[in-house]
Amino acid sequence: MLGALLAVVGVVVWVARPEPVACGAARTATDTMATTQVAFPPSSSGVATKRTTTPPPTAAPSAAVPGEARYYSFTPSVACSYPDLPLDGFYAGISTHEYGTADLCGAFLDVHGPNGDVRVLIADRCPGCSPGQLDLSTAAFERIADPTHGVADIRYSVVRDPDPAPEMIYEVKPDSSASWLAILFSNTGNPLHQVAIRASDADDWRPLTRGPDNHWTISGAGEGPFAVRVTDLYDQTTEIYGLTLDPGPHQTGARLYTNEPPPVEPAQPIVTPAAPTLPPPTPAQANTGQALAECRAR
């Protein structure tokens, strides 16, 4: 059921090859499993960014749920439209019912199989799968089971706010114009829930609609440049400024969350008060002191 998978999916979108992992039932605050990011050329649009909400300090862990993995040959033409995915990466396709309108594109799942564990990116749709069944790419399936078997019983759990927090990338569809704009976001770290746009000189945000190819679209946006507000499944939000209609991938410098610990205020040094400086004794005090000393000496 879609609701069941949504309940356990706390996901990450980034165009990457996830590294294999030896993982427990769920991610913890100390989880340091990494993902290799694909390098993109620097942005030519001069975007700027602003974090507008602060995420919770720790991510709630998700329990592993039972499922079934199936073996399939991955191809670059994935339903989620992510470009340039390495053929030897670790990917999953989910059932059409769970895929919905690309709602779970970019989810990272830790899959536990009979022969090992692997972290996979939900990048595709599996028309022949039932809810709870995962199509795993060749490289991913080989990590958790014998590929000659074709099918394996598994348990899988969700990754939320993966570490390190990735830098968001956006790509404008080549046929976009002032009349119709389509944007693909990747490296968001969690699945997106909402995207809104406004012209740089306007005040009103206009929502975009996500299509089954994972592009967010809007009609009549104008020539730009634009500000875009991106919100993930956990209401963590970033605003990106200076977006243009230039096609191709653009790095933004934006991150929807951070796994860095909050800064610790340095301890203040303990200062010992200096002893007060006494004035020199008066002649009378000096004479008194000398007399006392002579008394003690007797």
- Does residue 155 have a pLDDT over 90? yes
* Look-up of token digits 């114009």: 177
- Does residue 27 have a pLDDT over 90? no
DSSP state of 200: T
Beta bridge partners of 204: none
Give me the pLDDT at residue 273, please: 60
Can you tell me the mean pLDDT for 284-297? 57
91: Cβ contacts below 8 Å, ≥ 6 apart: 74, 78, 85, 120, 121, 122, 123, 124, 136, 137, 140
Between 287 and 34, where is the model more confident?
Answer: 287
Give me the pLDDT at residue 187, please: 85
Q: Give ∠ CA 239-35-238 in degrees, rounded to 5.
A: 5
The three-state secondary structure class of 113 is strand
- Does residue 24 have a pLDDT over 60? no
Give the Å distances, CA to CA, from 182 to 128, 232, 245: 29, 18, 9
Can you tell me the mean pLDDT for 201-229? 94
Give me the pLDDT at residue 162, please: 82
Band the pLDDT of 179: cuts 50, 70, 90.
Answer: very high
Q: What is the pLDDT of residues 97-132, one digit of tens each?
A: 999 999 988 888 999 999 999 999 899 999 999 999
Band the pLDDT of 279: cuts 50, 70, 90.
Answer: low
90: Cβ contacts below 8 Å, ≥ 6 apart: 17, 18, 20, 118, 119, 120, 121, 136, 137, 139, 140, 143
pTM score of the predicted model: 0.70
Give me the pLDDT at residue 272, please: 60
Band the pLDDT of 45: cuts 50, 70, 90.
Answer: very low
Return d(Cα 134, Cα 67) in angstroms, integer: 8
The answer to whether 122 touches 11, Cβ cutoff 8 Å, is yes
DSSP state of 235: -
For a pLDDT cut of 90, what percent of the chain falls above it?
45
Domains of the chain: 2-21+59-158 (2.40.40.10)
